[in-house]
Amino acid sequence: MKVSVTAPANITEDYLRWLSAIGVDYIDLGPFEALPGAREQGYPDLNKLIKMRRSIRAFGLDINRVTLPSVGKFILGEPGGEKEVENAEKTLKILGEARIPIARPMFAPSSTSWPEAHTEPQWDGLAKRHRGGYVMRRVDMRLMMKQFKERPETTPEGFPSMLSLSDEFWQRFKEYYKRIIEVAEDYDIKIAMHPSDAPLPDTPFNGLGLHRIIDFFPSKNSGLIYCVGTRYEAGGTQLVLDEINYFGRKGKIFLVHFRNVRGSLATAGSFEEVLLDDGDMNMFQILLALHKVGYNGCLNPDHVPHWDGDTPDHRQAWSYSVGYIKALLAALSALP
């Protein structure tokens, strides 16, 4: 197994030098707009992307995963949706030409309507301070609903309609997924779906939704970004271990978001994201489960905390998480 990190949109030589120094192997590009040319034309520029990859490889790193353009309009049946799908297909072909192995689809109803911990926590009461004052995301269903009731202007776009998805949603989802899987098979790219984050009730890509994807599309190019933290939030350690065993033995785990959590929606109606050594999961137990099913992809700490004195790109926090993972991997390799 290797280590990847989610890179910012602006990747400098100083940033790459630092990643190399702390032992990172791969970069996962988060926003689609991080791909050169994507913002201007709706899909990346091949020559610029190849140049970007060469500059990254010069530091002993490589690109592991990128994000496809959002197809929210297509999923909702709105004008401009077909253009979104065409741009996603063009993007996949360009990724194939540039030999980038993994692409993550993006759906507005499941991903961009909810806050991500890559940015500062943005809802009142949904940030939590931990030891030494570090801050990470907290989700409490009771506080969330109370805030929405008292301050409707804070309610995310699409809520609560996104929590009652219809057969029409899944029909349009399958139509889109079929098209990108066909391109992915032609260009040898893995399509990796991330679970709904947070795993709120009836969000599309919960446990049932992940099984639906695998059942709908048995292609070897269809699989998951298995987010340990998100799935723990849905049901605890045993759920995570069971899903790693199930999806891992099928070869459907293409990338792992390796992070820790305290509490779950299933047991407490709330959870708090924490550092790798500060949560409910024994992360070495999780690593052993991945090892047993033959997983050999990247581990990405994914969400890192905010704390006073860190750099704007959170180098202290990333360094801590990467170092912790590398120590776990060293312990794993020392087992008889």
Residue pLDDT, tens place only, 64-118:
999 999 898 898 888 999 999 999 999 999 999 999 999 999 875 444 333 333 3
What is the distance between the alpha carbons of residues 260 and 130, in angstroms, rounded to a whole number?
13
User: Which pLDDT band holds residue 124 (cuts at 50, 70, 90)?
Assistant: very low
What is the distance between the alpha carbons of residues 106 and 50, in angstroms, rounded to a whole number?
23
Q: Look at the chain and report how many structural domains it folds into.
A: 1
Q: What is the mean pLDDT of the chain?
A: 88
List the structure tokens of 12.
């400098």
User: Which pLDDT band holds residue 131 (cuts at 50, 70, 90)?
Assistant: very high
- pTM summary value: 0.90
Residue pLDDT, tens place only, 261-300:
999 998 888 899 999 999 999 999 999 999 999 999 999 9
Residues constituting the chain: 336
> Which domain range does residue 152 map to?
2-333
Residue pLDDT, tens place only, 306-334:
999 999 899 999 999 999 999 999 999 99
Q: What percent of the chain has pLDDT over 90?
A: 68
pLDDT for res 148: 65
What is the distance between the alpha carbons of residues 226 and 298, in angstroms, rounded to a whole number?
11
Strand boundaries in the chain, DSSP class E: 2-7, 26-29, 62-70, 102-106, 127-129, 135-140, 190-193, 222-227, 253-257, 260-262, 270-274, 298-300
Residue 257's domain is classified under what CATH number? 3.20.20.150
pLDDT for res 73: 87
